[in-house]
Amino acid sequence: MIEGHGDDSYKFERPITANFSSNVYNRVDLSGLQAHLCSCISGISSYPEPEPYTLEGRLAEKYHLTAASVCVTNGATEAIYLIAQTFRGTNTAIFQPTFSEYADACRMHGHRVTSLYKLPTAETNYLLPPDIRMLWLCNPNNPTGTVIEKAYLKELITRNPQVCFVIDQSYEFFTVQPLFSPDEAVNFPNVLLLHSMTKRYAVPGLRLGYITADEGLLSRLRTHRMPWSVNQLAIEAGIYLLAYDVPNPLNISVYLQETARLRHALESLGGLEVWETETHFMLVRLRIGKASALKNYLANEHGILIRDASNFEGLDEHFFRIAAQTAEENDRLVQAIERWFATY
């Protein structure tokens, strides 16, 4: 996935002025956080806490949990690899198409990985295949933008107590659909709930995430945790963001309305199949041409970056993913794609 990830503007000589490629809204005012981190820069001359106890404590206070129910990680990606390592050799299922790091991490640590494209229903008593011991779900899902209903997830988790459910809610801030809260997750002995401050506050360069789960489940993860994985500036940033709740300028309902407007504008072009979404990003399939060619055209001719989604399992060379940005940038994208179609 490293080569196929979004936000790869470094590959292009022309400056990128509209970035749709990563699922981050790029218009958050981080000046207060930047000033705070500058004032804390002397802290890099000392080791950080070997485990980010202080930040875990602040998160626990926020969600009315015990500190033992929170594990702060170097982005959600460290959480993914830490889980895969802790449960090494497990029979694992991954609901596809989704973020490929789940499969990469599991294969690195000897899991026997199965891809699922349908989840069990009431007709089968919500029962998963009997050999499965871990199931990975992204909710809202990357790259499709779909949300699995909370009531359904409760049934699935309750009916399959032998399965450890890893539910990645990195994009929880960007949907109005009901999702698990941290205090709900800790009541299940078989749920690991992943969260991303990276996505919530648009700080991908800081790498900051956390897991909320039953204390016993998290204690197993901590036995495999590398010391000092979260650096001092990231810890300071997390504490600052929680204390001041740095305002994301987004009204989510309004932002999702703009996402819907963008989706309909793309559909009106013809030549595109735009998947329905319940969050701020969407999956798009080209009826003509390849996503890689469109990506290169948009970057080189218009300074616009999209995510070629052909490397997601179950997708092909015609798929790309975009995250809605400002109305002006969204209009630029639609007009640029229309011009690309005119070349065929």
pLDDT at 69: 98
* pLDDT, mean over the chain: 93
Cβ neighbours of residue 257 closer than 8 Å, sequence gap 6 or more: none
Range(s) for CATH 3.90.1150.10 in the chain? 9-25+251-342
| Lowest mean pLDDT segment, chosen from 2-16, 77-91, 247-261, 322-336 | 2-16
Q: How far is CA 92 from CA 136, 166, 173, 212, 238, in A?
A: 8, 10, 27, 20, 32
CA distance 302 to 197: 31
Residue 111: both structure tokens together: 């899991």
Mean pLDDT of 198-214: 92
CA distances from 105 to 65, 83, 94, 156 (A): 28, 9, 12, 24
- Which of 97-101, 228-232, 246-250 has the least mean pLDDT? 246-250
> 56, 79 in Cβ contact below 8 A?
no
Give the model's pLDDT for residue 246.
56
Q: Hey, what are 224's tokens? A: 């495999």
- In the chain, what percentage of residues exceed pLDDT 90? 87
Q: Where in the sequence of the chain do the CATH 3.40.640.10 domains occur?
A: 30-244
pLDDT at 173 over 90: yes
Residue 313 has pLDDT above 60, yes or no: yes
Residue-level pLDDT at 25 = 83
List 304's β-bridge partners, or say none: 18
Q: What's the pLDDT tens digit per position in 25-56? A: 878 888 899 999 999 999 899 999 999 999 99
Report the CATH fold assignment for 9-25+251-342: Aspartate Aminotransferase, domain 1 (3.90.1150)
> How does residue 248 score in pLDDT terms, banded at 50, 70 and 90?
low
State mean pLDDT over 310-335: 96
pTM of the model: 0.93
16 has a pLDDT exceeding 70: yes
Euclidean distance between CA atoms 156 and 174, whole angstroms: 24
pLDDT in tens, 54-67: 999 999 999 999 99
pLDDT tens-digit map of 228-240: 999 999 999 999 9
The rounded distance, in Å, linking the Cα atoms of 32 and 39 is 11
12: confidence class by pLDDT, cuts 50, 70, 90 = confident
Query: What CATH number has the domain spanning 30-244?
Result: 3.40.640.10
The answer, yes or no, to whether residue 169 has pLDDT greater than 80, is yes
Distance CA 223, CA 237 (A): 25
What gap in Å lies between CA 148 and CA 179, rounded to an integer?
8
Q: DSSP string covering 43-75, please?
A: GGGS---SS-HHHHHHHHHHHT--GGGEEEESH
Q: Rounded mean pLDDT of 169-182?
A: 96
Q: Residues 270, 276, 278, 283: what is their CA dihedral angle, to the nearest 10 degrees?
A: -70
The CA-atom distances, in angstroms, between 17 and each of 5, 21, 34 are 18, 12, 21
- Nearest Cα residue to 203 out of 20, 2, 5, 25: 25
Predicted confidence at residue 250, as pLDDT, reads 72
